Amino acid sequence: QVRLVESGGGLVQPGGSLRLSCEASGTIFSIGVMGWYRQVPGEQRELVAAITSGGNTNYTDSVKGRFTISRDNAKKTVALHMNSLKPEDTAVYYCNANISWGIIKRDYWGQGTQVTISS
C-alpha cells in the first residue's frame, strides 16, 4: 500500500517562510512527476509546483520567484520551500506523486496540510 505523508504546515505571518515535506512509502517501483497542489474552500484544487524525476520544474505564475520545489529520488521525498508568503497563499496543500509499476501508473495524494498566512 502506497502512502504519501506530508508535514510542515502551520501559521506564519505575511513575508514569512515555511517548508513543506512529503515522503512516499510502500511498494513503489518508480516515481514520475511529484508535485504540490493547494485548495481553498469553494475553489478547485490548483497546481502550485511540480518536478520530474530528472529535476525539471514547473510553477504556477503566482509563486514564481517565491517558492522552490525539490526532491530526493533515493528517499522518495519532495519538498516545497515557500518564501515571502502572502495571505493569498493560505490553503490546504496536498502532495501528489505519479507512481508506476511497469506499465501500470497511478496518482497518489497526501492527506493535506493547512498553511495559513495571517498577521
Give the confidence band of 29 by pLDDT, cuts at 50, 70, 90.
confident
Give the confidence band of 2 by pLDDT, cuts at 50, 70, 90.
very high
**Beta-bridge partners for 12:** 117
Once rounded to an integer, what is the mean pLDDT over residues 49-67?
97
pLDDT beyond 90 at 1: no
Q: Give the C-alpha separation, 26 to 28, whole Å.
A: 6
Residue 109 has φ and ψ, to the nearest 5°, of -125, 145
Q: What angle is formed at CA 89 by the lines to CA 83 and CA 93, rounded to 5 degrees? A: 95
pLDDT beyond 90 at 86: yes
With b for 16 or more beta-carbon neighbours within 10 A and e for fewer, the 49-82 pattern comes to: bbbeeeeeeebeeebeeebbbebeeeebbbbbbb
Q: Which three cell numbers stand for residue 91?
A: 490553503
